[in-house]
Amino acid sequence: MTELAVTVSGDDTERHLAIRGRLDEGAPLVRHVPAWTARTVVIDSSEITFINSIGIREWMHFVAALTAAGATVVHERCAEPLVEQMCFIPAVRGGGDVRSFHAPYACAACGHEQSVLIDVARYRAQLARLEAPPASCRACGQPLALADVPERWFAFLR
Per-residue pLDDT tens over the stretch 100-125 = 999 999 999 999 999 999 999 999 99
The answer to whether residues 22 and 39 belong to one domain is yes
Separation between Cα atoms, residue 135 and residue 99, nearest integer Å: 18
Separation between Cα atoms, residue 59 and residue 65, nearest integer Å: 10
Question: Computed from CA positions of residues 89, 91, 97, 100, in that sequence, does the dihedral angle turn out positive or negative?
Answer: negative
Decide: 115 and 122 in contact? Cβ < 8 Å. Answer: no
Residue 10, pLDDT score: 97
The answer to whether residues 93 and 41 belong to one domain is yes
Residue 157, pLDDT score: 87
The answer to whether residues 12 and 61 belong to one domain is yes
The amino acid occupying position 25 is E
Residue 17, pLDDT score: 98
The answer to whether residues 31 and 74 belong to one domain is yes
Percent of the chain surpassing pLDDT 90: 91
The answer to whether residues 110 and 46 belong to one domain is no
| Number of domains composing the chain | 2
The answer to whether residues 123 and 54 belong to one domain is no
Backbone Cα Rg of the chain: 16
The answer to whether residues 83 and 126 belong to one domain is no
pLDDT digits (tens, 9 = 90+) for 28-83: 899 999 999 999 999 999 999 999 999 999 999 999 999 999 999 999 999 999 99
Domain holding 81, by residue range, is: 1-98
pLDDT band at 84 (very low <50, low <70, confident <90, very high): very high
